[in-house]
Amino acid sequence: MKKLHDLELLAPAGGPESIAAAVLCGADAVYVGQKSFSARASAHNFDKQELLEAVRYCHERGAKVYQTVNTLAFDGETPALAGCIETAAACGVDGLIVQDLGTAALAGKICPSMRLHASTQMTIHTPDGVKEARRLGFVRAVLARELSLTEIAEIHRAALDMELEVFVHGALCMSVSGQCYLSAMLGGRSGNRGQCAQPCRLPFSSTGKPAKDLSLKDLCGIEDLDGLRRAGVTSLKIEGRMKRPEYVAAAVSSYHKALGGQAADVDTLRAVFSRSGFTAGYLEGKLSPAMFGSREKEDVTAAAGVLKGLANLYKQEMPRVGVTLTFSAENGLPITLSMEDGEENRVFAKGEPPERALHRPTGEEDVKKALEKLGGTPFYAESINIQLEEGLMIPASHLNALRRECCEKLLLERGKPAPKPCFPYREDPFPEKEQENKKDKPFIQGRFLSADQLPENADKLTQIILPYKEVAKHPELDEKLLERCILELPRAMFGWEKIVKKELAALRERGYRKLLIQNIAQLSWARELGFSCQGGFGLNVTNSLAARRLWEQGVGEFTLSFELTLSQARRIQTPGLKGVIAYGCLPLMLTRNCPVKNQKSCRECGKRSFLTDRKGERFPVRCSEGYTELFNSAVLYLADRLEEWEWCDFLTLYFTSETKEQCAKIIHSYAGKKQHKPAKLTRGLYYRGVL
């Protein structure tokens, strides 16, 4: 079946059976993971032999295989990560889906010909984010799930030569991908490491009434396919590497039919897996309580009646590879058949010479009828060329034998291993830290949410971070803060990055020189507007390769991920300055759809609210322009253990809701004065780590 739209249909495959379910139901490509460095660690995933077989099977049938290497790596894992990349290249996978900038840099050195796709975990959601990904060596960006069709189209117009991949079906996380630390903080299972325990699906309530305010319905974009095509999307992605093959079959079949202009069976899709139904709210730009939902008993029982029938969807081959057949028969010469697939693969077969017909000679229609019987193979006849001398008799069994032989040979030819050339991994020395950057003790910097929080003892801070908008509306700060102020940029910029850039240019004119950047889009802003920059925690730096890659891009200072342990953080090498968040309520989620709005309006909420979990813990929620943040219930505090952090270049005090007086006390604590411990404190993950 030929699709009306030239869009790649990309399916999940958590194990070998899902490969068949995806390909035999019409997927143009599948994405898989190896046993390590995959964001779905609980899926079956593939060892080297299984991966090699998966690539062979898919390439025989005209489908591509992309491998996920989309988790954050730690120093010490680099040799294993290099082995994972080398295995992918040896098996001939068509591309790697990558989150970590260090992994991307390593892949580029080991296998320069390998396609790199920027994972949705990279939080790419703006035109400049896509442009920067291209500059960093990526050929495709997997866009954030929170984008509307209008925003996707704007990104496409700004980056015409970059492939765009968009999720169209499956689970929706409440948090923007790559910016969720909830599972890590609550249970030590990091979503950035493929170990998410999905605590967001448990009860969280903004009112005290029973609710699941962090759980969204599953996405179903099957009604928006034409809009996605017009928006410039290259690939339509189905989520679900941890789901069973029947789910893969149902989803792929439905979207394949819809792309071919046929009606899709949405009822079966809903029955096989949903969370109180589906939503397309982000794609359609309609954020509302209707997007929220959880998996209930009736959702589970609905699957029982459809699973058996769905298994039948992938029991036979789908004709998906067009071939040209050329047949020749002359008296006294062996009959011959060639078959070619349009991809430089061509095979031949020959049989016994034909005999003179005593009664009815074999005609062209007889030959054509025998050769076009390609059922049970992935091939269909695009054209058949016949050169047949008159008066000959050719048994149908001979024609069938030629056809079968050519099909077998062409399958073998198409499935031949095609390893990509690799350079052996070697550990490159890291540049030395510049002498002037070396510090006897870490300097202290403070991040404030508003100018009203700045206490009198703020002069004890080497650097002060303030939201750029706060600085813009307080010109009186210039005289006091100009030389040591860092302008904090928004963590998300859905549809309004042009406005931010314009306001930054005005601040540059006022003399401000430094930005705190939170995603790769903002790298280009610093470069374009002439700012130096410090990298924020949202860049997820967990290894020396990523640190060096950012330093090469002009990031002279950066905050390490708070998912690192003390020893892991200390091990990271960089010629720049590295620091950690040493105080504050850590941001655990970045969301576009406000969780509080599931139960009450903005008027009822105000700018700040709480979610309460099933244990009674209260997690602050704060709205910014265009996004919402969920914060930890306990305050990170390290002032009584500063001697363990003297190797750091800087420590950040991350103030959110504190008063001016509370900020002053905390600064005193970290300056070595009297300790002011919070009533409820945590050491974060620095002393326990994550999986």
User: Is the CB of residue 497 less than 8 Å from the CB of residue 520?
Assistant: no
Between strands 64-69 and 95-98, the pairing is parallel
pLDDT of residue 626: 87
CA 415 to chain centre: 28
pLDDT of residue 2: 39
> What percent of the chain lies above the pLDDT cut of 70?
98
Q: Is the dihedral of CA 569, 571, 572, 574 positive or negative?
A: positive
User: Is the CB of residue 685 less than 8 Å from the CB of residue 691?
Assistant: no
Between strands 650-654 and 443-447, the pairing is parallel
Structural domains present in the chain: 8-172+216-314 (3.20.20.70), 321-414 (no CATH), 444-682 (3.20.20)
Helix (H, G, I), strand (E, B) or coil at 185: helix
Cα 624 to Cα 469: distance, rounded to the nearest angstrom = 11
User: Is the CB of residue 531 less than 8 Å from the CB of residue 511?
Assistant: no
CA contacts within 13 A on the Cβ side of 645: 27
Q: Which residues contact 662 (CB under 8 A, 6 or more apart)?
A: none
pLDDT of residue 4: 46
How many other CB atoms are found less than 10 A from the CB of residue 56? 20
Burial tier of 319 (Cβ tally within 10 Å: 0-12, 13-18, 19+) = middle
Numbers of helices and strands, H then E, in the chain: 23, 31
Cα 128 to Cα 107: distance, rounded to the nearest angstrom = 23
Cα 229 to Cα 317: distance, rounded to the nearest angstrom = 28
Cα 75 to Cα 540: distance, rounded to the nearest angstrom = 14
The stretches of 2-47 forming alpha helices (DSSP H) are 16-24
pLDDT of residue 672: 87
pLDDT of residue 433: 67
Taking 50 as the pLDDT cut, the residues of the chain under it are 1-2, 4, 435-436
pLDDT digits (tens, 9 = 90+) for 406-436: 999 999 999 999 999 999 998 877 777 654 4
Q: Which residues contact 137 (CB under 8 A, 6 or more apart)?
A: 104, 108, 116
pLDDT of residue 379: 98
